[in-house]
Structures are given as C-alpha cells and as structure tokens.
Amino acid sequence: MTPLLATITRREAGIAVIGAVMLAAAATLPLFDTGFYLSLALNIAMYVVLCTAWTLFSGPTHYISLASAAFFGIGTYSVALGIETLPFPLLVTIGFVASAVLAGLVGIATLRLSGVYFVIFTLGLAELVRQVVTWAQTNFTRGVGLYVFTDFTEAHIYWMLLGLAAVVYVTGWLVNRSRLGFALRIIGNDETVARHVGINTAMAKVALFMISGGFIGIVGAFLAPRFAYVEPPSAFNPMISFQVVIMALLGGTGRLWAPLLGVIPFTILFDQISANFPNHTSLVIGIAFMSVVYLLPRGVVGLIEDMRRMKRKFRIVWTDDAALGKDPAE
C-alpha cells in the first residue's frame, strides 16, 4: 500500500508542478492582449471554475444540479448591494457564506430526492430565488438595476478567477484524499451500500454541496464589477446553470480536471460559431452540440482514455502475447 501511495504522490506532485506552470503561463496573458482575447480567456476561466466547482459535488455523487445560477446570482448581489459601503474582499466572503448557507439548506431539504427530481428541484430553486429577489427589489427598493463601479479591470478579474481556480483544484484534491471524498465515491457507486457500511450519506452530500455552491458564489461576486449594471435577469440567468452542466458533462465528470477539457474547446468553438454564423448561431450550435453528444459519448475525457487504452493495447500486443492484451482498466 505504502509504495503505491508514494508513487501516486510523486505523480500528483508532477501534476501540481505542471498545473502551477500552466496557471502561471495563463496569468501572463493580460501582458499580451487586453482586448478580445483577454475577454475570451476570462470567459473560459469563469466557466473552468464554475464547472470544476460543480464537478466537485456532481462528479462523485452523480447528482445533476441546476442551481448554479442561484449561487452565482447571490454572489453577484452580495457585491452589488454592498459595494458602496463595504470593502470588496468582505463582500466576496459574504457571497461565499450566503451561497454556502443556501446550498446547505437545499442539501438538507433534498436529502430524499434523487435523480431527475433533484435536477428539477434545483432548477426550481434557482427560479424561486430570482423571483423573490426581483419581487423584494420591486417592492422595497423601488429600482431593479444596481450599479457596480470599481477600479477593477478585466485583467484583475481574470487573475482573481485564476487564483480561485487554483484554490478549487487544491480543495478538490484535498477532498478526494479525505474520508469525505472516499465516502462520496461510495455513495456515487451505490448509496445503499454506502449507508450499510455506516457512512452518513446525508452529511457528506450536504458538506460537499456547500463547498461547491460557495465557490460558485465567489465566481458571481468576482464577476459583478465586470457587468457594471446588475439586475436579476442577468445575475440569475438560467443559461449559466445549463452551460455549466453541459460543458462539464462534455468534458467528463470522472476527474477533477476533466471539465477543463470541456470548457476550453467548447468556449472557443461556440465563440467561433457566434463570430462566423451570427445569423444562425442557434442552428449551428445545436448541430455542433448534437455531434459531440453522439461522437463523444463519454466526454472529451472518455475520448482521451479510449485513445490511451488503444495505444496501451497495441503496445501490449506488440510486446507480450495476446492473452495479456486484456485491459486491466476495464
């Protein structure tokens, strides 16, 4: 067991170094371009954090949450409401705490739900929060738009998002190594078994959902200064929830880094479609989307694994006899 652990650690150390190098490289982008490519990179960074935070919870548990927009909006609103009076870092913290609390409440309320019920519940929740916020603003503040004027440039927001991405990855890694992560993997495979071996499935799920929701709230908080003008339809845009799910699923949810493989190519692809087919975006995105669903059934990560396995198979067939060609990964 110990040598195995040691090798994994070395490999993980390697990954950490590569990750840090990549992050540092990404962080230099604003030095070269502060125009469109920074905007695009910011977009990618935003979805990377969102999708990875989403995968933290949904990857191991297989619960599909459509509540991202609710957490995102709460984060945005925490900043928008307090920007005149409180310092920005405090507002971000408030956004994190408020989103995590909401996630905790949802988690406690939805313990009994699974599968599609959870999906629709979270969707309903996001809409409910949006309606209540709109109604409260209409009746108590008499004005829906809030202005967020700060000195942050896009580069600042981009760097904050990159930093957050690092935090999310480290958190994910820590969770994976902890008892919590182990418990969650068992829950994801078979909840009944998990319960029988004495795992408090409820607590584990709620805790992780809170972490995940909190991070999404922070992204919302970071993004608020970029929009300058915050109103419920944009802060609680349900498309955020859908895009997060879709990009994460396209990348694959089995690994913490898998959403990255969904977000980067698809943000760029969708962007190219918007740029080149402005009058037919829906149609072309739909077609691109369908082809991905059919051609890459297990996401980009599945494709990579298939290729790797194929390579390995060849190597084994070349070196050993056919009897050893059985893939141990299967």
Site for another protein in 43-62 (CB under 8 A): 43, 62
Distance, CA of 290 to CA of 167 (rounded, Å): 33
Site membership for another protein, residue 257 (CB under 8 A) = no
Q: How far is the CB of 182 from another protein (least distance, A)?
A: 21
Examine residue 295 and tell whether it contacts another protein (CB under 8 A): yes
User: Where does this chain touch another protein (CB under 8 A) — which range of 14-22, 88-96, 112-120, 167-175?
Assistant: 112-120
329 φ, ψ (degrees, to nearest 5): -75, -15
Per CB under 8 A, the list member of 3, 294, 319, 329 interacting with another protein is 294
137 Cβ contact partners less than 8 Å away, ≥ 6 residues apart = 143, 144, 232
Structure tokens at 7: 């090798």
- Residues 6 or more apart whose CB falls under 8 angstroms from that of 296 comprise 250, 302, 303
Work out which of 296, 302, 312, 316 binds another protein, going by CB under 8 A.
296
User: Per CB under 8 A, does 32 bind another protein?
Assistant: no
Q: Please, which residue, 123 or 169, has the CB nearer to another protein?
A: 123
- How many Cβ atoms are within 10 Å of 328's Cβ, its own excluded? 8
Give me the least distance between CB of 200 and another protein, in Å please.
21
Query: Does 93 engage in binding with another protein (CB under 8 A)?
Result: no
Residues 199-228 that bind another protein (CB under 8 A): 226-228
Residues 126 and 67: beta-carbon distance below 8 Å? yes
Select from 27, 101, 202, 269 the one that contacts another protein (CB under 8 A). 269
User: Alpha-carbon distance 44 to 59, whole Å?
Assistant: 20
Interface with another protein, residue 305, by CB under 8 A: no
At residue 152, φ and ψ (nearest 5 deg) are: -70, 135
In the set 2, 28, 192, 279, which binds another protein (CB under 8 A)? 279
**Distance, CA of 97 to chain centre:** 18
Instruction: Give the span between the Cα atoms of 185 and 189, in whole angstroms.
Output: 6
Residues 102, 236: contact at Cβ < 8 Å? Answer: no
* Closer CB to another protein, 12 or 154, in the complex: 154
Closer residue to another protein in complex, CB, 287/324? 287
Count residues near another protein (CB under 8 A).
79
| DSSP 8-state code for residue 147 | E
Which residues 163-202 are close enough to bind another protein by CB under 8 A? none
Decide if residue 108 touches another protein (CB under 8 A): no
Only segment of 145-153, 178-186, 189-197, 311-319 that touches another protein (CB under 8 A): 145-153
Token pair of 210, please? Answer: 């809170």
Can residue 286 be called a binding residue for another protein (CB under 8 A)? yes
First and final C-alpha spacing in the chain? 22
Options 17-25, 33-41, 84-92, 195-203: segment touching another protein (CB under 8 A): 33-41
The reply to whether 124 sits near another protein by the rule CB under 8 A is: yes
Label residue 295 exposed, middle or buried (CB < 10 Å: 0-12, 13-18, 19+): exposed
